Structure 1
Amino acid sequence: MSGIDYAARFDGFDGDVLFALEYPQGQDGPSDCDAPQECVEQLLVVLADWRQQILAGARTDADAYRAALDTVREAWLQYSFRWVGGPELPYPFDLPRTEAAR
């Protein structure tokens, strides 16, 4: 297996991280509207490389890849649809394992 710890790049990543990137000085400070998208784009590049390694047979951590992909999807979903006065959204949107198994 390759020496790159791809999964570690996604530890702790969620929609709150993207909000912190947009408002590095807090909600009352200036915003950097491009920072969250740039972060996600960088992670997508990591995922693309990781995917290629798995498909080439150089890695066997497909479950960790799927978990990282789901993490990015969930973070972007939460970030994209959360705003002041907006709807209350569940976090995460996934069903608990007990409900998903039904």
Structure 2
Amino acid sequence: MSADFPDLFEGLSSDALFVLEYGPDGGGSDTDAPRDFVESLLVNLADWRARLLDGTRSDAEDYRCCLDSVREAWLQYSFRWVDGPALPYPFDLPAGVAS
């Protein structure tokens, strides 16, 4: 396996996206940085998916986990604001809850 796709998604969270936007000290303001980063991850997911479908990779479960982490991070980042609603983190149900 050539690319180590799962490593690209390490530490991904809405908090990490906020750090990209505001900087580690909270003093910056680059509103495009989180979107640009997520777009780069989506490009990697597309490549990874193609490799899973052509049989050159077999780590479908890792792919699903990384896809879910992108969805969760973007969902939380997109809808979290000062004095906004209290949202669960993550939205996934805890293990053992009937599906």
TM-score by length of 1: 0.92
Residue in structure 2 matched with residue 5 of structure 1 by the alignment: 4
- Aligned-residue CA RMSD (Å): 1.1
**Which residue among 39, 45, 48 is the counterpart of 1:41?**
39
Structure 2 stretches lacking a partner, 5+ long: none
TM-score by length of 2: 0.95
Residue in structure 2 matched with residue 15 of structure 1 by the alignment: 14
Distance 1:26 1:75 in 2: 20
Q: How big is the shift at 1:37?
A: 0.2
Moved more, 55-64 or 16-25: 16-25
Residue in structure 1 matched with residue 66 of structure 2 by the alignment: 68
Question: Which digits, 9 at most, give the CA deviation of each residue in 1:52-102, with x for residues without a partner?
Answer: 000000000000000000000000000000001011111000001111x45
Letter in 2 for 1:10: F
- Runs of 4+ with deviation above 6 angstroms: none
Aligned residues: 99
Structure 1 stretches lacking a partner, 5+ long: none
